[in-house]
Amino acid sequence: MSGLRRRDGNCWVAAPPAGLPRGDSLADPLASGARLFEDGREIGPPHAPHAEIAAVGGGRFSHWGEYVYLSASDNTKAGRNRRIYTLLLAAEERDPAASVLAAAAATIPGPEAPEARFVLAERIFRSLVPGQHVAEFGRSFFFDRDFAACFERFAENNYRAYDRRYALSQFARLAARLPGDFAECGVYRGATAFLLARALNGAPAQRRLHLFDSFAGLSAPETVDGTFWHQGDMAVQIEEVRARMAEMLPRIDLHPGWIPTRFVDVAERRFALVHLDLDLHRPTADALAFFYERLVDRGILVCDDYGFETCPGARRAIDDFFADKSEPVLHLPTGQGLVIRSAG
């Protein structure tokens, strides 16, 4: 590599031959997989901040945009020390994630730079799961200790659903200010039911949380439901739910049975919030047909499955049902679908 000119301190800069891939950038600070050799011996580390190359040197370098910023291994003047600097860019890999992981392993920011570590994790995630994206750094809801303690008491939960559960807890806080009961269709082990019951703490005793589930798993999927789900998935014993919800049972009415057979139990009730987590087309359609007219004005309907590719039937049921209604279905980035009832 020729044409080195001094930039600052130990840092020298050169432009590689035209036609090479661009290097790192603000948007993608680990884009380049370049390796640098000094008289045939590899030096580094790569992806070094330019100020650090200038101040510390020691072979640090950066392939940034169309330029290479480098330092000699012994901090001699790289443009005048008669050494040959060679930049190696590997041919494109069959799996792009491999080069990203290799580059990441070479340069992991320290714990004193949490945002830089987040950017690195985001780059790795994007390379492994194309088309998916990590949300923004520094969201404060992760530091809500009260919610975290509630979430983590259910051992099967993982943090993939954290934002979805948090959103539901906030909808429940809002709905608790309205008249009417809460209902959930599709209880599984009670993780979201616990959040809903918790939001009713302090409300009059006559306000109830009604839980509907077969407790035998899913019914047989239809063609519209795709191939992800199978009959019997998500089965759980009702005794397990009762045990997990023990402290909330005075507020809860359990209605075991296939949807919609037990809806008759609450035909005279009105609802401030209804949470649907049924995964499939037919039970979702049946639940909408029953609960929509029983939502109070400004009542909240949340479909847990609306934005997931694994639940096309549930989304079809909601889109079809609301096609002739005045309320829009809001597609939330959490994967939930949200409707605010307008009963005026």
Q: How confident is the model at residue 33 (pLDDT cuts 50, 70, 90)?
A: confident
Same domain, 220 and 297: yes
Is 286 within a domain? yes
The highest-confidence range among 91-105, 109-123, 209-223, by mean pLDDT, is 209-223
Same domain for 288 and 261, yes or no, is yes
Contact residues for 258 (Cβ-Cβ < 8 A; gap 6+): 214, 216, 219
> How does residue 304 score in pLDDT terms, banded at 50, 70 and 90?
very high
Q: Please indicate, yes or no, whether residues 169 and 63 belong to a single structural domain of this protein.
A: no
Both structure tokens of 280 = 């499939």
Rg (CA), the chain: 28
* 133 within a domain of the structure (yes/no): no
Phi then psi for 115, rounded to 5 degrees?
A: -70, -35
pLDDT class for 91, splitting at 50, 70, 90?
Answer: low
For residue 123, tell me if it sits in a domain.
yes
Confidence of residue 159 (pLDDT cuts 50, 70, 90): confident
Q: Domain residues for 321?
A: 141-340
Confidence (pLDDT) at 239: 95
Please report, for residues 205, 233, 326, the alpha-carbon distance to residue 168 in angstroms, rounded to integers and kept in the order given.
22, 23, 23
Q: How many CB atoms lie within 10 A of CB 261?
A: 13
Whether residues 120 and 154 fall in one domain? no
Are residue 15 and residue 114 in the same domain, yes or no? yes
318 domain-assigned = yes
CB neighbour list of residue 114: distance below 8 Å, 6 or more residues apart: 137
The answer to whether residues 146 and 120 belong to one domain is no
Rounded to the nearest angstrom, the gap between the alpha carbon of residue 69 and the centroid of all alpha carbons in its chain is 36
- C-alpha distance from residue 343 to each of 127, 284, 317 (Å): 47, 21, 21
The C-alpha atoms of residue 299 and residue 176 are separated, in whole angstroms, by: 10
Residue 209 shares a structural domain with residue 288: yes
Kindly report the backbone phi and psi dihedral angles of residue 70, in degrees, each rounded to the nearest multiple of 5, phi listed first: -140, 165
> CATH code at 221?
3.40.50.150
Same domain, 325 and 250: yes
Nearest of 218, 326, 195 to residue 277 by alpha carbon: 218
Give me the percent of the chain exceeding a pLDDT of 90. Answer: 70
Same domain, 110 and 188: no
* 186 is a domain residue: yes
102/146 same-domain check: no
CA 60 to chain centre: 35
- pLDDT of 240-260, one tens digit each? 999 999 999 999 999 999 999
**Residue 116 banded pLDDT, cuts 50, 70, 90:** confident
Whole-number pLDDT of residue 96: 63
Q: Which of 128, 163, 196 is the last residue before a domain boundary?
A: 128
Domain contains 251:
yes
∠204-207-209 over CA atoms, to 5°?
A: 135
Number of domains forming the structure of the chain: 2
238 shares its domain with 118: no
Composition of the chain by helix, strand, coil, percent to 5: 35, 20, 50
Mean per-residue pLDDT for 316-338? 97
User: In terms of DSSP bridges, do strands 271-276 and 295-303 run parallel, antiparallel, or are they unpaired?
Assistant: parallel
pLDDT of residue 98: 67
Residue 134 lies in a domain: no
In terms of phi and psi (left: phi > 0; alpha: psi -120 to 50; beta: otherwise), the region of 5 is beta
157 pLDDT tier (thresholds 50, 70, 90)? low
Name 5's Cβ contacts closer than 8 Å, sequence gap at least 6: 12, 13, 14, 79
> At which of 128, 152, 167 does a domain end?
128
Whole-number pLDDT of residue 69: 96
User: 175 and 240 share a domain?
Assistant: yes
Q: Which of 61-70, 81-90, 111-120 has the lowest mean pLDDT?
A: 111-120
Q: Which of 98, 128, 158 is the last residue of a domain?
A: 128
136 domain-assigned: no
CA-to-CA distance for 300 and 303, rounded, in angstroms? 10
**Rounded to an integer, what distance in angstroms lies between the CA atom of residue 81 and that of residue 235?**
72
